[in-house]
């Protein structure tokens, strides 16, 4: 157990006990050294909960890390009294109940991770609206919680400093609001594994700094659309396991930063645009399980960095272009279940 005598260290400002095997029931009262600014208890086998008076015990806390610690109970509404908090890390515990709207009083908050708990919210995810008060907010992770709500338009009013919005596997329903496009400094957007419907908002074209875009495993319909091609820093596109139809945009070949394209298990029905061959750094191309047609363009032989190419379960026809033999980094290739014919090119012998 953490020795109670620790509370005699009355000058203590930072306490890091992370990654140990402290156990027993957490008694927050032992941290009543009023000067504590930083506490990390992450990754211990503690039990217990966050007491409603935690902010009177830790009035000056700025950074509080307590993930992987078996915490139970709710996040107390009174958390708002820890008014100097900039980092609150409570991921991978067993917290239940509502994400309190009082988090919005933490105007200095920059980083909030509540992922991997059993937290819920109301239908309009109103805690997101509250968090629009935190003007320096940069990272939000609420993944793997049964939130069961809909993204509010007010999410577009979150801080313009927001860099990561991670909300995968949260049972989020409804549309992706157009206002998502207001988060102009986002680097990572992950809304995968939810029940989102409707189409990808055209406003995502405003997320000029986006590097990773993950809407995989939802129920999105409509076209991928050309707006995605405005994202000239995009590295990874994950749009697999949706109901997207129409064509693979021609302009994808202009996003030369692309490294992974995951568009498998949709209803795409076009051919592969030859311009895709411009993607010199592309490592993964997954177009499997669509209705794509036409011939495999010889330009795919220019994808020199590619290690995985899955074009299976489509309607591609004609022969395998001999240029495929130039893909010397390719480790996984599937052309299974298409309408390809002719001979297997000799050039493949040296792959
Ligand atoms: C927890 O700490 C141990 C070392 O005590 C480390 O090996 C392990 O990777 C840590 N787990 C997590 C989830 O950080
Ligand atoms: C913290 O609690 C202990 C035990 O109740 C008490 O002796 C001590 O005076 C308290 N310290 C502060 C700084 O409040
Ligand atoms: C936001 O960050 C800036 C720069 O670090 C700092 O000066 C300012 O006080 C912060 N504002 C809030 C509300 O925390
Ligand atoms: C999550 O909370 C619900 C009630 O809100 C409960 O029925 C369920 O067992 C909890 N799940 C876990 C993994 O704790
Ligand atoms: C966003 O903030 C502006 C300015 O405070 C406000 O007028 C607008 O209603 C907010 N939008 C939403 C959707 O809440
Ligand atoms: C926020 O997004 C909405 C919907 O796309 C748009 O009408 C509005 O102008 C945007 N606001 C700002 C401040 O960019
Ligand atoms: C995107 O989301 C899917 C489904 O949640 C997940 O398997 C995949 O690892 C995610 N990709 C990245 C780069 O986070």
pTM of the model: 0.94
Q: Is residue 218 part of a domain?
A: no
Ligand with an atom nearest the CA of residue 180: 6
What number is the average pLDDT over the span 224-233?
Answer: 96
Give the per-residue pLDDT at 309: 98
Pairing between strand 332-334 and 339-340? Answer: unpaired
Q: Separation of 21 CA from ligand 1 center, angstroms?
A: 9
Give the per-residue pLDDT at 247: 96
Q: Is residue 346 part of a domain?
A: yes
Ligand with an atom nearest the CA of residue 6: 2
**What is the per-residue burial (b if ≥16 Cβ within 10 Å, else e) of 56-76?**
ebbebbbbbbbbbbebeebbb
Q: Separation of 223 CA from ligand 5 center, angstroms?
A: 29
What number is the average pLDDT over the span 204-226?
Answer: 97
Residue 10, number of CB atoms within 10 A of its CB: 9
Tell me the C-alpha distance between 249 and 263, whole Å.
12
Place 306 in a pLDDT band, splitting at 50, 70 and 90: very high
Q: Is residue 333 part of a domain?
A: yes
Phi, psi dihedral angles at 98 (to 5 degrees) = -80, 145
Q: For residue range 261-282, list pLDDT tens digits in order.
A: 999 999 999 999 999 999 999 9
Average model confidence (pLDDT) across the chain? 97
- How far is residue 214 CA from its own chain's centroid? 6
Q: Which of 176, 119, 110 is nearest to 142 (CA)?
A: 119
Ligand with an atom nearest the CA of residue 93: 4
Q: Is residue 335 part of a domain?
A: yes
Place 178 in a pLDDT band, splitting at 50, 70 and 90: very high
* Whether residue 43 has its Cβ less than 6 Å from ligand 1: yes
What number is the average pLDDT over the span 175-199?
Answer: 98
Closest residue by CA, ligand 6 atom 7: 179
- Whether the CB-CB separation of 121 and 149 falls below 8 Å is answered with yes
What number is the average pLDDT over the span 172-193?
Answer: 98
* Whether residue 203 has its Cβ less than 6 Å from ligand 6: yes
Tell me the C-alpha distance between 70 and 75, whole Å.
13
Domain CATH code at residue 282: 3.80.10.10
Q: Is residue 86 part of a domain?
A: no
Q: Is residue 287 part of a domain?
A: yes
Place 24 in a pLDDT band, splitting at 50, 70 and 90: very high
DSSP alpha helix (H) spans, the chain: 54-57, 126-130
Pocket test for ligand 3, best of 106, 108, 163 (most atoms within 8 A of CB): 108
Q: Separation of 20 CA from ligand 1 center, angstroms?
A: 8
Place 52 in a pLDDT band, splitting at 50, 70 and 90: very high
What number is the average pLDDT over the span 297-323?
Answer: 97
Q: Residue 317 is inside which H or E element, if any?
A: strand 317-318
Q: Separation of 183 CA from ligand 6 center, angstroms?
A: 10
Q: For residue range 92-124, list pLDDT tens digits in order.
A: 999 999 999 999 999 999 999 999 999 999 999
Residue 328, number of CB atoms within 10 A of its CB: 10
Pocket test for ligand 7, best of 192, 237, 242 (most atoms within 8 A of CB): 192
What 8-state DSSP symbol labels residue 223? B
Torsion of CA 87, 88, 93, 95, to 10 degrees: -170
Q: For residue range 69-82, list pLDDT tens digits in order.
A: 999 999 999 999 99
Give the per-residue pLDDT at 243: 98
Q: Separation of 115 CA from ligand 7 center, angstroms?
A: 15
Based on the structure, what is the number of domains in the chain?
1
Closest residue by CA, ligand 4 atom 6: 118
Q: Is residue 262 part of a domain?
A: yes
Closest residue by CA, ligand 1 atom 2: 19
Give the per-residue pLDDT at 323: 96
- Whether the CB-CB separation of 248 and 233 falls below 8 Å is answered with no
What number is the average pLDDT over the span 254-264?
Answer: 97
Closest residue by CA, ligand 5 atom 14: 154
Q: Is residue 261 part of a domain?
A: yes
Q: For residue range 121-137, list pLDDT tens digits in order.
A: 999 999 999 999 999 99
Give the per-residue pLDDT at 282: 98
Percent of the chain with pLDDT over 90: 99
What number is the average pLDDT over the span 153-173?
Answer: 98
Closest residue by CA, ligand 1 atom 8: 19
Range of the domain at 261: 248-351
Ligand 2 neighbours (beta carbon < 6 A): 7, 10, 32-34
């Amino acid at each position: 157990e953490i020795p109670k005598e620790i509370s005699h260290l009355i000058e203590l400002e930072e306490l890091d006990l992370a990654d140990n095997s402290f156990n027993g029931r957490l008694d927050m009262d032992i941290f009543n050294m009023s000067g504590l600014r930083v506490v990390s208890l992450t990754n211990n086998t503690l039990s217990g909960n966050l007491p409603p008076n935690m902010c009177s015990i830790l009035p000056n806390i700025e950074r509080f890390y307590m993930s992987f610690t078996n915490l139970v109970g709710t996040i107390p509404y009174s958390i708002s009294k820890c008014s100097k908090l900039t980092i609150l890390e409570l991921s991978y515990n067993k917290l239940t109940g509502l994400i309190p709207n009082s988090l919005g009083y933490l105007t200095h908050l920059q980083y909030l991770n509540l992922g991997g708990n059993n937290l819920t919210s109301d239908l309009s995810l109103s805690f997101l609206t509250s968090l629009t008060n935190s003007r320096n907010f940069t990272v939000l992770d609420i993944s793997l919680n049964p939130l069961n709500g809909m993204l509010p338009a007010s999410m577009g009013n979150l801080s313009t400093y927001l860099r990561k919005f991670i909300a995968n596997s949260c049972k989020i329903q409804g549309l992706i609001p157009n206002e998502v496009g207001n988060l102009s400094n986002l680097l990572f957007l992950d809304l995968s594994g939810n029940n989102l419907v409707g189409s990808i908002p055209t406003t995502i074209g405003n997320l000029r700094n986006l590097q990773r875009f993950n809407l995989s495993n939802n129920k999105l319909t409509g076209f991928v659309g050309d707006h995605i091609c405005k994202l000239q820093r995009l590295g990874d596109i994950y749009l697999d396991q949706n109901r997207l139809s129409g064509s693979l945009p021609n302009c994808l070949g202009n996003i030369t930063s692309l490294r992974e394209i995951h568009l498998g298990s949709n209803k795409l029905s076009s051919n592969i645009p030859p311009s895709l061959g411009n993607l010199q750094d592309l490592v993964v191309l997954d177009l499997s399980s669509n209705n794509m047609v036409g011939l495999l363009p010889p330009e795919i032989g220019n994808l020199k960095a590619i290690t995985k190419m899955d074009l299976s379960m489509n309607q591609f026809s004609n022969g395998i272009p001999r240029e495929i033999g130039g893909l010397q980094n390719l480790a996984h290739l599937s052309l299974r279940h298409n309408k390809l014919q002719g001979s297997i090119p000799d050039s493949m012998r040296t792959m």
